[in-house]
Amino acid sequence: MSALQVGESGLRHLRRKAANGMMWVVAVLCVLAAILPLGLVLYYVIAQGASGINLDFFTKLPKPVGEPGGGMANAIVGSLILVGLASLVGLPIGILGGIYLAEFGNNRFAWTVRFFADVLNGVPSIVVGIFIWAMVVVPTHRLSGLAGGAALGVMMIPTVMRTTEELVRLVPLSLREASLSLGATHWRTVFRVVLVAAKGGVVTGILLAVSRIAGEAAPLLLTAGSTSFWSTRIDQPMPSLPVQIFTYAIQPYDDWHRQAWAAALALVSLVFVLSVAARYATRGRFRMVR
Amino acid sequence: MDAAVDQTRSLKRRGIFTGRFGDRVFKWTTLLFAACVIAIIALLAYLLVADSLPAIRTFSWRFLSGHTWDPVHDVFGSLPFIYGTLVSAALALLLAVPISLGAAIFLAELAPPWLRNPLSFLVELLAAVPSVVYGIWGIFVLVPFLRPVEAWLGMRLGFVPLFSGPPYGIGMLAAGLILAIMVLPIITAVSRDVLRAVPVSQREAAYALGATRWEAIRGPVFRYARAGILGAIILGLGRALGETMAVTMVIGNTPTISASIFDPAYTMPSVLANEFMEATGKLHIAALMEIALLLFVVTIVINAIARLLIWSVARGAPAGVRE
């Protein structure tokens, strides 16, 4: 049928083509509407935060209200320590659990694990915070970096587990067979051959998980708490960038707002770098596997 | 020489870690770590139930229907929080679902291949922005922007209860908007994957019958994918119900039930974030624990439904549509 045809069928044809074109335009508008908030958030974070990013921000402690200057050095270090602690909890469970799912995962137990990992992924972060509060903070009678790390670690598990499983599964069977045929045991095959081949995928999972927890404030409010002093002892309250942004943003002081925006810029930059790196790490791996 | 060293080494290694026994150790060790997930969820459920028992015993169902939240007199009814959570999430879905579906259709079906990856990545970045950053943006950019908008809407449509009341900026509308932005990426990404999972044969059959692209999407592709898309929306709902920081920063944190979307409100996660550390009364803590328990139960239900729906599409065709 061509648009030149006249009569009823031609008209209907034109109408159908018009509907098709309309939907194309609507879909494009939807994509633009979906991406617009990203642009707006980035614009304001950079515009408001750039002026607050200087050497003091990274090296000085927070100043009390009214005194200008100061920085967030303690919160930056605190965030790094918390992410490190979280990795100690989340990575072994996530990676080894993911290996189990990929290698032995065709039974009811494994399906249960997958379902619970999904549930854990969906549990609101504040509820994870309450869980760790009841598990760690109540028995030890204090907010601590350890508790904060545990909360973030629990939140890392589902992401790491899922990506590890998926990428380990992608490793071609021929690689395993080659290793097994040389007399290697199953576990050596997994650690020396399969994991090496799936390295990029595992790294992606870790980076994604870290980028997810690095910005979490809600569970830390109930577990790690906050302080405006240096805190490198993990049995003491530990400040972090997200919590600091929250406390500064809801107070009525301009100077604190400036600091909060600067911290937001630092956090967003960190998270974006991690996301890009995560993508880059798997891109090479997928090519090799396919 | 080297070979000899290697041999002694490998002989030394020959012990518990070779052969079947080593493999068994390997299997059970990894299984143990995998089981941690189940243990965590079980402990979480146990602690939430155990710690909220005082509140459950004291208030039973009145906890869900009571309007008054008064820690001073130990009277706890969580209806305002439940209401705020549900309405803000509904508002978010109302705004986000149409846009997400349009974007998903574009990403899965219409976009030229070179554009697909960069656009998908931008949507993923939207999901990566931390909640507090949306919160600070909400306080200092969105809320001031909303004030004149609400004033204008109130002037024109103020006779509708939905748009009545003073235009604070802070309130239900701001929370709904922020939540919409935050659930958009997940609904878009999952719907896109679901649409991608629809077999090419479904589209080709439609094209062969003379359908345009849109007709193929609207008809067979959508019918095939609708369960999965519903799953994506429910996953988004789950996110919206549990979102804490950004909502806490813009919703106004007032435990009232008001018909107007301009009025401040309160959500379940927000009250946890605001009151948990300050709570000292036993019953107060138990009441907060019960709110956390409610959120947790909702999470399980929502995940179960969403996963079933998505699996039905993405893991091969549902019965009857195959071939």
**Residue A236 has what DSSP assignment?**
S
Closest approach of A66 to chain B, Cα-based (Å): 21
Q: What is the mean pLDDT of chain B?
A: 86
Same domain for B218 and B102, yes or no, is: yes
Q: Is B184 on the interface with A (CB under 8 A)?
A: yes
Q: Is the pLDDT of residue A286 over 60?
A: no
Chain B residues 249-288 with a CB less than 8 Å from chain A: 249, 269, 272-273, 276-277, 288
Same domain for B51 and B84, yes or no, is: no
**Cα nearest neighbour of A22 on chain B:** B214
Q: Which of B59, B87, B104 is the last residue of a domain?
A: B59
CATH class of A67-289: mainly alpha
Closest approach of B178 to chain A, Cα-based (Å): 10
Closest approach of B266 to chain A, Cα-based (Å): 15
Residues on chain B touching A283 (C-beta within 8 angstroms): none
Same domain for B129 and B245, yes or no, is: yes
pLDDT tens for B53-108 read 988 888 888 888 888 888 888 889 889 999 999 999 999 999 999 999 999 999 99
Same domain for B162 and B308, yes or no, is: yes
Same domain for B52 and B158, yes or no, is: no
Same domain for B167 and B25, yes or no, is: no
In a domain, B295, yes or no: yes
Residues on chain B touching A249 (C-beta within 8 angstroms): 132, 135-136, 139-140, 249
pLDDT tens for B280-310 read 888 999 999 999 999 999 988 998 898 888 8
Query: What does each C-alpha distance from A84 to A145, A268, A281 come to in angstroms?
Result: 11, 19, 20
Chain B residues 112-141 with a CB less than 8 Å from chain A: 119, 121-126, 128-137, 139-141
> What residue has token string 């009341």?
B165
Residues on chain A touching B288 (C-beta within 8 angstroms): 130
Residues on chain B touching A26 (C-beta within 8 angstroms): 102
In a domain, B231, yes or no: yes
Q: Is the dihedral of CA A264, A267, A273, A277 positive or negative?
A: negative
Q: Is the pLDDT of residue B319 over 70?
A: no
pLDDT tens for B196-224 read 888 888 888 998 998 888 888 888 888 88
Query: B134: domain range?
Result: 62-314
Look at chain B and report how many structural domains it folds into: 2
Query: What does each C-alpha distance from B246 to A90, B138, B139, B261 come to in angstroms?
Result: 25, 7, 9, 17
In a domain, B321, yes or no: no
SS3 call for B75: strand
Same domain for B98 and B169, yes or no, is: yes
State the average pLDDT over residues A241-258.
Answer: 89
In a domain, B74, yes or no: yes
Q: Report the candidate in A216, A267, A130 with the shortest Cα–Cα distance to residue B52.
A: A130
Same domain for B36 and B68, yes or no, is: no
Torsions phi, psi of B280, nearest 5? -120, -35
What does pTM read for this prediction? Answer: 0.87
Q: Report the candidate in B321, B214, B242, B280 with the shortest Cα–Cα distance to residue B74.
A: B280
- CB-nearest to B296 from A123, A158, A242 is A123
Evaluate whether A49 touches A236 at the Cβ level (below 8 Å): no
Q: Report the candidate in B307, B90, B261, B53 with the shortest Cα–Cα distance to residue B179.
A: B90
Q: Which of B59, B88, B103 is the last residue of a domain?
A: B59
Which of A116, A125, A265, A283 would you mutate first to test chain B, the one with the most B CBs within 10 A?
A116
The reply to whether residue B299 touches residue A122, judged by beta carbons under 8 angstroms, is yes
DSSP A150-165: HHHHHHHHHHHHHHHH
Same domain for B8 and B119, yes or no, is: no
